[in-house]
Amino acid sequence: MYKNKSIIITTILFVLLASFVFVGNSVLAQDRLILATTTSTENSGLLDELIPPFEEKFNTRVDVVSVGTGKAISLAENGDADIILVHARDAENAFVEDGYGVNRRDVMYNDFIILGPPADPAGINGMEDAGEAFVKIAENESDFVSRGDDSGTNKKELSIWSGAGIEPAGSWYIETGQGMGASLNVANEKQAYILADRGTYLAYKADIDLEILVEGDPKLFNPYGIIPVNPAVHTHVNYQMAMAFVGYITSQQGQKIINEYTAYGEVLFNPSAIKPENIK
């Protein structure tokens, strides 16, 4: 008797399992654009405002894969993304020069800030030159947290060190190899200095005990560019939709959404394809 029951139950379970295998793949039919971008862009919430109008207008689906800038570029070089939205100008230029990307456009910018403990052991509070601030941190051997993950933020940090003529090394220089959020937590626990993008800092502000010590240096300027993958190199990419997205994000409509987007009560990105005063 109990054996019959067990056979029935097993059959029911298997039918249930099997039904899961064959449902839910209908979404594949739609046109698809794979956008590789940085974690800071996606975490800011901007894309949730920016993408739905585009999807509706062009009856397509934009799949956002958010990774560090370095990884986003390598995905595009492999042909695993159709378009990238990143922030590391030198790497972007190399990407285009090597023939992987075409038709790069400026989209928007924000800025990096140097955070540190309120006690400020290296005494950099209010300095105007980010390079000089880094020199003081290094001379004082105060703890400094680096992303160390080849992201746009990490590339910017390294360019400031090399600009200041310093090769950071030693027990005070802590490489986490993790994202911005995780690295901010490490810096907070160790009460260390860190270079961060403003958006992520604002998201974490309430939970961490670090303050903005240096800001406003032109070196801390953080421009974002958009680049479709070259269809001559990767024949399968959705180039037409990628160009439509470039058109959209640099249009009045797209730039207006960027200009008006706020989070935590502050403006996070400034449009750069169209000057704010020309946005209608």
Partner 1 sequence: MEYIIEALKGAFNLIVTLDPEVKTVVGTSLHLSLTSTFIAAVIGTPIGILITKVDFRGKHFLNTILNTLLSLPTVVLGLLVFSFISRRGILGEWGMLFTMRGIIIGQVLLILPIIIALVRNAIHDVDEKMYRTAISLGATGTQQFRLLLSEARYGIIGALVTGFGRVIGEVGVSMMLGGNIKGYTRTITTAIAMETNKGRFSFGMALGIILLTISFIINYIIYYFQSGEIR
Note the residues at the interface with partner 1 (CB under 8 A).
Answer: 2-3, 5-6, 9-10, 14, 16-18, 20-21, 23-25, 27-28, 34, 39, 43, 48, 61, 63-66, 78-80, 179-182, 184, 200, 203-204, 207, 234, 236
| Shortest distance in whole angstroms from residue 222 CB to partner 1 | 18
Min. distance of Cβ 165 from partner 1 in angstroms? Answer: 33
Q: Tell the smallest beta-carbon distance from residue 56 to partner 1 (Å).
A: 14
Of residues 2 and 171, the one with the C-beta less far from partner 1? 2
What is the Cα Rg of the chain in Å? 23
Task: Give alpha helix (H) positions in the chain.
Answer: 2-22, 39-44, 46-58, 69-78, 89-97, 130-140, 152-163, 180-190, 198-204, 239-249, 252-260
Instruction: Note the maximum CA span of the chain.
Output: 83
- Please, are residues 170 and 201 in contact by the beta-carbon 8 Å criterion? no
Residue among 102 and 279 whose Cβ is closer to partner 1: 102
> CB of 228: closest distance to partner 1 in angstroms?
15
Q: How far is the CB of 230 from partner 1 (least distance, A)?
A: 13
Identity at 171, one-letter amino acid code:
S
User: Which residue in the block uniquely carries the two structure tokens 């030198």?
Assistant: 90
Q: Given the complex with partner 1, which of 22 and 165 has the nearer CB atom? A: 22
Question: What are the residues facing 227 on neighbouring strands?
Answer: 84
Question: Is the Cβ of residue 3 or residue 280 nearer to partner 1 in the bound state?
Answer: 3
User: Environment class of residue 190 by beta-carbon count within 10 Å: exposed (0-12), middle (13-18) or buried (19+)?
Assistant: middle
34 vs 241 by CB, closer to partner 1: 34
